[in-house]
Structure 1
Amino acid sequence: MTLLLSVLSGVSAVLAFALAAIANQTGSITPLSASEVAMYRPYTYFAATGYCGPSYTRSWSCGVNCEGNPDFQPVDAGGDGEVVQYWFLGYSPSLERVIVAHEGTQIQDIVSIASDVSIIQRPLDPALFPGIPSSVRVHCGFADEQAKTATLILAAVNTTLAKYGTSTVTVVGHSLGGAIALLDAVYLQLHLPPSVKITAVTYGLPRVGNQGFADYVDAKFAGSLAEGE
């Protein structure tokens, strides 16, 4: 599947997810308006751009996916697409927030596949996630991937918040990238001032942790997470 098709599929996925959520809450399905679907489109392009290497995201030249958010101001990017998943971050003037995006699973990349299948659960690293009880457990592979870039991303987020004077950070990602993004959201909330709002938009999010982790996320991020298949 091309990145463009992935983007289009992602927009449809958000619509399907939102409809399912409405159905669960009301017992009936109410179609979303075009404006409601359009609200998630920028994040879908950001998630697709997560599959582009740093040389493209730093110059914001990743073709149609970068063109989907033409005003984005890249600040930093990294990863090699093999040992470390690609990532980028910067500021979106139109969304008035910092965006952090992570690459998802690449079927030709044995390291990212190994991270997906490393499903043994363990407590979060207290050096990165201080104060979270040991009963909160996550899959080792996802935790290992998030830890590789956590401090780099925190430093770049602080730089971007100061530079652009915003107080909102949204992390995005697809598949493995979605898992890293969710862990990033938890991590950033612990290390940024309470005045900074952290949200996440993920696509094809796998199960990241145990029920304790799910309960923690629900308690800390009520209304701040959106996920599509």
Structure 2
Amino acid sequence: MLALISLLTLVPSTLSAPIFGLSSGSDDAAATGATTSIALADVQSSLLRPAQFARVAYCSSKSITDWTCGEPCTSLGNVTFLQSGGDQGLIPLYYIAHDPSDNSLAVAHEGTDSKNILSILNDVKFGLVDLNVTRFPDTAGKGIQVHSGFQQTFERTADGLLAGVMKGLASTGAKKVTVTGHSLGAALATMTGALIKKSVDPSVEVTVTGFGLPRGGNQAWADFLDSDVGVQYMTNQNDPVPIVPPRSLGFHHSSGEVHIVDDTQQDFVDCPGQDNENCSTGNSLLKVDVTNHKGPYFNDISFGRSACPDGQ
């Protein structure tokens, strides 16, 4: 994702027309509801734990399995690793852990590794395709379409991941599942969260939290996430990733955005509605800061291999 964005941002800012429709998004309808400030304490209470789990997903498979991934692991305290999958390439890593602090399971997806071409290829296949209704039979006939590359990547680990979640719920007695990820990992988290929610007993609470979330599907997909899943996601200043793929190609964000206004790590706003132009949707790819994608977001949390021991 970062490599593709970097190429786009090299185009001179003097161009008068949007690149491939990648404008600030004023070409079609978007929410314009007024934002409201959110206190740092409230951000920490709802987003800190998911952010910490998402950060761990960038570390090496072995360091996650052994729970020896340095500060990303130790910051979470007494957590028990349960399962992982993927190869940190064409199949991004995911892991499942038990969090005894609230007797919950955490499911975290690795985001894009900008140094790994196989990982990047998952992002650039950005055509819209029909959602696999075999996995989501209740969505049949609703016209839901999703990002081709994201769905293909999701399918590579969906069965093993779901089996691991069901096994973890049975062995721990947990009644809550937190699904999280950053960048590509955030997009995968929305699909994984939807799959888990439809598969577990209704008494199990499933929450989905993303960071630097790109658009993952069409309006019908966004509506489905709002009505059946519930997604909260954080965007950081002029990060270009949340505004791709563009709405001019039929992509749309769900509700639930929390936007970071500046680099103080103290100024956050709630963004009502879908694709609120007062938040990341109002950004333009002609004026972006790719470094905002990695962070820091808050509490000095940044995403990527650099936070892991020896950058692995």
Q: Which amino acid aligns with 1:169?
A: V
Tell which structure's C-alpha radius of gyration is larger: 2
Q: Which moved more, 1:188-197 or 1:58-67?
A: 188-197
Is the 1:52–1:86 contact (alpha carbons within 8 Å) kept by the matching residues of 2? no
Distance 2:60 2:125 in 1: 24
Select the residue among 177, 184, 188 that pairs with 1:180: 188
Q: How many residues align?
A: 203
Give the aligned partner of residue 90 of structure 1. 97
CA RMSD of aligned residues (A): 1.7
> Which structure has the highest helix share of the two?
1
SS in 2 for 1:62: coil
Q: 1:130 to 1:33 in 2, by over 3 A?
A: same
Q: Which amino acid aligns with 1:180?
A: L
TM-score normalised by L of structure 2: 0.62
SS in 2 for 1:131: helix
Q: Which moved more, 1:83-92 or 1:35-44?
A: 35-44
Is the 2:85–2:95 contact (alpha carbons within 8 Å) kept by the matching residues of 1? yes
Q: Is 1:226 the equivalent of 2:232?
A: yes
**By how many angstroms is 1:31 displaced?**
4.3
TM-score normalised by L of structure 1: 0.83
Is the 1:130–1:190 contact (alpha carbons within 8 Å) kept by the matching residues of 2? no
Q: Which amino acid aligns with 1:199?
A: T
Select the residue among 126, 129, 135 that pairs with 1:128: 135
Give the aligned partner of residue 190 of structure 1. 198
Give the aligned partner of residue 58 of structure 2. 51
User: Greater relative contact order (Cα 8 A, min sep 6): structure 1 or 2?
Assistant: 2
Moved beyond 3 Å, runs of 4+? 27-31
Q: What is the percent sequence identity of the aligned residues?
A: 32
Q: 1:71 to 1:207 in 2, by over 3 A?
A: same
For structure 2, which runs of at least 5 residues remain unmatched after alignment?
1-31, 236-312
For structure 1, which runs of at least 5 residues remain unmatched after alignment?
1-23
Is the 2:183–2:213 contact (alpha carbons within 8 Å) kept by the matching residues of 1? yes
Distance 2:157 2:215 in 1: 21
- Within a 5 Å distance, the mapping from 1:12-161 to structure 2 comes to 27=34, 29-34=36-41, 36-134=43-141, 135-161=143-169
Q: Which amino acid aligns with 2:130?
A: P
